[in-house]
């Protein structure tokens, strides 16, 4: 009798387990058939648990670059394709006309980004123009855009030049090998310059990450740029925002250290009444301006605005690094860029007018952000149901929309020899085609474009004016699989050789 009861319980347990597995399987199959039931192409080998994003979620591929892999795996003739992050149905756009329709012409319905979740709990990275949702976004945009205008860029150029002095001093003092060259990690060089520029412009403090690489500030900023926890936070924010809503700040990057520096800087500046032409001046003006109950520029909200600078300057760090790398691998382009820099400086000195006249350097930067876009994807979220023009597809409210910038930029349909660095392709404005989105598109495109480009030009021009560079073109650029943005996993070693000084 006892044995019969044991066997019966065992059979019941096996039956319940099999039934649970079957129900789980059927549930997963149902969830990943969302696009198929709506007549939208989707991938055939969707994982029952991870959806189509398994390699990105497990860091087998850099998360943003995995989206580009999906772009290139999709059938060539489809304007969009459905995919899943876990069981969340998302739409990947491929056709530039549809992308422009959504980002620009119908932007009112797509003004919100998908990432960060509805509560916007990542206060430092998200509670600014980068992540705010409407109607707050529109108000903050109207108040913040002027702080990134040409007048402010002009005021920041001397600060960028000042910040570059420790970098140049570091390059001059680094010992050369027996061939007279200095082998330096250009990515690390740019991260340190970026850290000091953030301090000088966004936080209102002077730092020297080259002379004091072990300072609390520099170590914190290096962790901000490259720390594994922040990389986990970014992947979660961008691709799994529901987890942010569930776990809150525990899963995100702690910016308390920077917030304390910022608050002390604001207090000191207000007490002294002085001005430096940095972003802190602009923040104080916003604080003293008339406030709107929708969003008040006070308390933590002031600090949140500096987060926009951090993200933007981080993108500039990547751009400066990859353009240095490509110039080091191509002597012809390097020589042309150096001639461009020296001619502009000879005519205008180290001024904003000189930087505005470095036209070939502009082409190099434009090509750099095409081939290595710092932000490799764009995302939006439908605010209301939306019928895609000239199709029968109706996107339900809340549907995440993705654009693979790297996918578009490396598509031979849009760019000839897409994997090659060819600055001349942008000498004709017509080549800035509809598939070129290095700064986003529509109302939510990057408002810090001018400041970011100036940052890059200052770094490149200062180095080109004093050094020849070389890097083996066969050497790989390995994208960090942990990073949502473009970054090298192993640095970018470049040979720097001082230019011979003219004797006349």
Q: Which residues are annotated as a binding site?
A: 446
Query: With contact defined as beta carbons under 8 Å apart, do 32 and 48 qualify?
Result: yes
Cα gap 490→497, rounded to integer Å: 22
Length of the chain: 504
Phi, psi of 266 (to 5 degrees): -60, -45
Binding-site residue positions for heme: 446
Q: Which of 402, 302, 319 is nearest to 366 (CA)?
A: 319
CB 381 within 8 A of CB 102: no
Distance (Å) of CA 372 to CA 192, 368, 437, 439: 20, 6, 12, 12
Residue 199 per-residue DSSP state? I
User: Two tokens at 363?
Assistant: 């082409």
CA distance 158 to 276: 10
- Cα dihedral sign, 440-142-309-431: positive
H-run or E-run covering 81: strand 80-85
Rg (CA), the chain: 25
Interatomic CA distance for residues 65 and 299, integer angstroms: 37
The set of residues, in sequence order, having a beta carbon less than 8 Å from that of 357 and lying 6+ positions away, is: 343, 344, 347, 348
Per the CB < 8 A criterion, the answer to whether 239 and 63 are in contact is yes
The two tokens of residue 14 are: 């096996």
Picking from 97, 55, 54, 104, the residue whose alpha carbon sits closest to that of residue 79 is 97
- Non-local (6+) Cβ contacts of 134 within 8 A are 111, 112, 383
Cβ-contact 381, 340 below 8 angstroms: no
CB 115 within 8 A of CB 103: no
Give Cα separations from 56 to 84, 377, 463, 480 (angstroms).
12, 13, 36, 12
């Amino acid at each position: 009798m006892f044995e019969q009861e044991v066997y019966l319980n065992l059979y019941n347990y096996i039956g319940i387990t099999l039934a649970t597995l079957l129900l789980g399987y059927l549930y997963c199959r149902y969830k990943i058939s969302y696009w198929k039931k709506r007549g939208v192409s989707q991938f055939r080998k969707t994982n029952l648990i991870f959806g189509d994003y398994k390699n990105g979620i497990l860091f087998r591929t850099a998360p943003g670059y995995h989206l580009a892999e999906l772009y290139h795996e999709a059938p060539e003739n489809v304007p969009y394709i459905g995919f899943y992050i876990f069981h969340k149905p998302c739409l990947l756009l491929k056709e530039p006309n549809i992308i422009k329709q959504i980002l620009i012409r119908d932007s009112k319905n797509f003004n919100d980004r998908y990432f960060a979740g509805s509560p916007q709990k990542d206060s430092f990275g998200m509670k600014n123009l980068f992540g705010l949702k409407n109607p707050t976004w529109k108000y903050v945009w109207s108040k913040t855009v002027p702080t990134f205008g040409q007048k402010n860029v002009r005021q920041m150029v001397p600060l960028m030049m000042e910040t570059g002095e420790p970098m140049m001093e570091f390059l001059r003092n680094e010992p050369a090998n027996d061939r007279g060259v200095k082998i330096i990690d250009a990515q690390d060089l740019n991260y340190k310059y970026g850290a000091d520029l953030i301090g000088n412009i966004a936080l209102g403090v002077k730092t020297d990450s080259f002379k004091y690489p072990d300072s609390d500030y520099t170590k914190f900023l290096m962790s901000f740029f490259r720390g594994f926890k922040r990389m986990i936070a970014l992947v979660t924010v961008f691709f799994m925002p529901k987890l942010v809503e569930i776990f809150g700040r525990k899963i995100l990057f702690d910016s308390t250290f920077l917030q304390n520096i910022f608050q002390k800087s604001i207090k000191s500046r207000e007490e002294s009444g002085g001005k430096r032409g940095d972003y802190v001046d602009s923040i104080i003006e916003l604080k003293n301006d008339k406030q709107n109950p929708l969003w008040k520029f006070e308390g933590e909200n002031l600090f949140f605005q500096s987060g926009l600078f951090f993200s933007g300057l981080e993108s500039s760090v990547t751009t400066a690094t990859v353009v240095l790398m490509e110039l080091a691998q191509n002597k012809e382009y390097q020589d042309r860029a150096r001639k461009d820099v020296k001619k502009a400086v000879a005519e205008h000195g180290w001024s904003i007018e000189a930087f505005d006249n470095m036209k070939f350097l502009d082409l190099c930067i434009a090509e750099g952000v095409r081939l290595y876009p710092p932000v490799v994807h764009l995302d939006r979220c439908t605010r209301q149901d939306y019928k895609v023009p000239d199709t029968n597809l109706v996107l339900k409210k809340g549907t995440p929309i993705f654009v693979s910038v790297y996918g578009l930029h490396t598509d031979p349909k849009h760019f000839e020899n897409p994997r090659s660095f060819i600055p001349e392709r942008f000498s004709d404005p017509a080549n800035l085609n509809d598939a070129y989105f290095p700064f986003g598109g529509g109302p939510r495109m990057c408002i810090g474009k001018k400041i970011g480009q100036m940052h890059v030009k200052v770094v490149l021009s200062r180095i080109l004016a004093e050094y020849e560079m070389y890097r083996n073109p066969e050497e790989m650029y390995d994208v960090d699989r942990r990073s949502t943005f473009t970054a090298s996993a192993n640095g970018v070693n470049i040979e720097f050789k001082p230019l011979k000084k003219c004797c006349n």
